[in-house]
Amino acid sequence: MIALASDHAGFRLKEKTKALLDELHLEYEDFGPDGERPCDYPDYAYTAAKAVGSGRCDRGILACGTGIGVDMVANKVDGVRSALCTSLEMAELSRKHNDANVLSLGGRLLDWSLAEKIIRAWLSTSFEGGRHKVRVDKIHNLSGH
C-alpha cells in the first residue's frame, strides 16, 4: 500500500500519480487534499508519513510545489526515510543505498514526463542491503531514535 499526499501545488502531480499507480495495479491511500484550494502541506504530508512510519503503508509518495516542505515533514516521522528526488539517478540511489520509503516530488519543478520516470524507477528499484544496511540502521539510532 502506498500513501499519497500533497498540498495544492502538488495536487495535479498526485492525481497523475494515482492514475499511474492504477495502471501498475498498485494499491494506494490518498491522504489528501481533494482539490487545489490553498492548504498547508504539513497537515497532509504528516498524516501520510505516519502511515508509512507505523507500517500501515509500505511506502509513500508526497508532492508540494518544490518537494522540499513535504520532505522535511516526512523526515520528522520515526521510521521514515524520505528522499527528495529530481532525477532518475537520485530515485534509484535513494532506494538502492538509502532504502527510502517515501518519495518527495516538486509539482512546480518537474514536468510529468520526468516525474513519471522518477516514480517508476523508485517503485521498481530494490534496496541493496549489505554495507548500506549498516548505514541506514544508523539513521534511526541518531538522537535516541
Provide the residue range defining the domain that includes 35.
2-144
**How many domains does the chain contain in total?**
1
C-beta of residue 101 within 8 angstroms of C-beta of residue 61: no
This prediction has a pTM of: 0.96
Residue for grid cell 531514535: 145
Residue 37: how many CA atoms within 13 Å on its side-chain side? 4
Q: How far apart are CA 121 and CA 137, in angstroms?
A: 23
Instruction: Answer yes or no: is pLDDT of 144 > 60.
Output: no
- Active-site residue, selected from the candidate residues 8, 97, 140, 145: 97
Residue 64 a catalytic site member: yes
75-120 pLDDT, tens digit each: 999 999 999 999 999 999 999 999 999 999 999 999 999 999 999 9
What CATH number is associated with residue 14? Answer: 3.40.1400.10
Residue 57 a catalytic site member: no
18-68 pLDDT, tens digit each: 999 999 999 999 999 999 999 999 999 999 999 999 999 999 999 999 999
- Active-site residue, selected from the candidate residues 64, 85, 132, 140: 64
